[in-house]
Amino acid sequence: MLFFFYMKSNENAAIVNTLSVIIPIFQAQEFLAETVSRIEQSTHVPEEIILVDDGSTDGSAEVCDTLRSTYQNIVVIHQANRGIAEARNAGIHAATGDYISFVDQDDLVEPTMYATALKKAASTDADLVMMSTGQLVQGQKLPYESLPDAAYQSNEVQDRLLSAFLFRGYVNPKRESSLAVSASIWKCVVRTDLLRRHQLRFRRFVSFEDDYLMVLSLLCYAKTVVTCSEIGYYWYIHSSSESHSRKHIEQYTEMTSQLIQYIRTTMETADIADTTIQIFLDQFVFEKTLDAIANSYLTRDALSKEQKKQNVAEYLEHFSFFTLNSEHIEPLPRFFRLRFLFHYYKKGNPDRLISGVCRFLQAEARLQQMPLAAKLLRK
């Protein structure tokens, strides 16, 4: 039997589980102490805060050690620079809490986030709790992802939440038009045993898809998921963030191929329906094609016109671009830019597709702040 129901208030529910919060750190000297201080002032203070210093050279390591001597719940890991994915994985390996949550070094966690999430986890025995999120732009709090107060069990997790995640921005019979799930890991409070039982780790193949792959895996394997309308986390937007810059990625085609194979294997292992996998992968290759064009035409690195065309041609040839089932791809009407580019995709005209993407890039000077497909799919 499947269940889908709106959650009543859990204000009186008891918190029976412990929480480990993992913060990957790189060159965060100026804001790390404030981030940790805010978490320490939560209505439910995490039993463990793991600071993973990923080879910082700006004094962040010393700040971590000072925080450890200040707060009894701080654990510090110092490691050579290996990137944010491996820093988070080191935290997972060290965590002792029943649940794990992730915080980026310069973001804002609302004081009630952990209390709300752990109470809902206790009352539903949830594998995963997902809070609504916002953006912090020049000191102003703005809503970003709005989720309902609801609980999903058994196949409802895949039929409703996974579909809302996979087909965000596209027409799909299983997708609820009012529900969209983004690829942000910081909204999640996840059962530690779920991560370890399925050996889930953060992985990066091309660029910045580590969050995406982890959220995908969680929704593939979680048996009970709770979503909350309360905004628990604010993502700090500033131009110096790692995820807001873009440089040309070498071997883009090869790495994208590995990424797609990993996604297929993950979904097959979780017994996701073959039709769902194929529809999603056709859509995903379309989106990655837009990013492949941006990888050559929107970059800090100087590439000749011939190099740009050669890079894109290699990608299109490798994925047999125009032989995909375009009937699987129908962007929602409100994403008019995506529909505009899809017109050239479906017509099988790579030159028009490239020129269309380039015109869009010229019109949106701030596009470099995120991958092209994500920009096109923004609300």
Give pLDDT tens digits for 184-227: 999 999 999 999 999 999 998 887 789 999 999 999 999 999 99
Q: Which residue from 186, 178, 126, 185 is spatially nearest to 151, judged by alpha carbons?
A: 126
What's the sign of the alpha-carbon dihedral 169, 335, 209, 47?
A: negative
Q: Residues 102, 104, 105, 107: what is their CA dihedral angle, to the nearest 10 degrees?
A: -110
Determine the pLDDT at residue 243: 44
Please name the residues in contact with 46: beta carbons below 8 A apart, sequence gap of 6 or more.
19, 20, 21, 39, 73, 97, 101, 114
* Weakest mean pLDDT among 53-57, 144-148, 233-237, 361-365: 361-365
Higher-scoring residue by pLDDT: 46, 300: 46
pLDDT band at 379 (very low <50, low <70, confident <90, very high): very low
Residues 253-271 have a mean pLDDT of 92
| Among 72, 75, 19, CA closest to 43 | 19
Q: What residue has token string 């191929």?
A: 257
Specify the pLDDT at position 231.
97
| Residue 53 exposure: Cα atoms within 13 Å on the Cβ side | 23
* Residues sharing a CB contact under 8 Å with residue 259, sequence separation 6 or more, in sequence order: 205, 206, 209, 288
Q: Can you give the pTM of this predicted structure?
A: 0.87
pLDDT digits (tens, 9 = 90+) for 305-319: 888 888 888 887 777
Q: What is the pLDDT of residue 5?
A: 43
Q: Is the pLDDT of residue 41 over 90?
A: yes
Tell me the C-alpha to C-alpha distance, in Å, between residue 62 and each of 27, 31, 83, 308: 11, 13, 19, 44
Contact 54, 84 (CB under 8 A): yes
Predicted local confidence at residue 165, as pLDDT: 92
Domain 3-239 class in CATH: alpha beta
d(CA 372, CA 289) in angstroms, rounded, equals: 10
Residue from 347, 242, 353 nearest 287 by CA: 353
At 72 the pLDDT is 96
Question: By C-alpha distance, which of 15, 252, 244 is closest to 114?
Answer: 15
Which of 85-99, 229-243, 257-271, 288-302 is predicted most confidently? 85-99
Query: Percent of the chain scored above 90 by pLDDT?
Result: 51
Banded pLDDT at 16 (limits 50, 70, 90)? confident
Confidence of residue 325 (pLDDT cuts 50, 70, 90): low
**Per mean pLDDT, which range of 148-162, 284-298, 320-334 is the poorest?**
320-334
Phi, psi at residue 163, to the nearest 5°? -65, -40
pLDDT tens digits for range 82-141? 999 999 999 999 999 999 999 999 999 999 999 999 999 999 999 999 999 999 888 889
Which pair of structure tokens corresponds to residue 27?
């060159």
β-strands 3-6, 150-153: how paired? antiparallel
Q: Lowest-confidence range among 34-43, 104-113, 331-340?
A: 331-340
pLDDT at 175: 56
Confidence at residue 364, expressed as pLDDT on a 0 to 100 scale: 53
- Within the chain, which residue ranges are assigned CATH 3.90.550.10? 3-239
Backbone φ, ψ for residue 145 (5° rounding): -125, 120
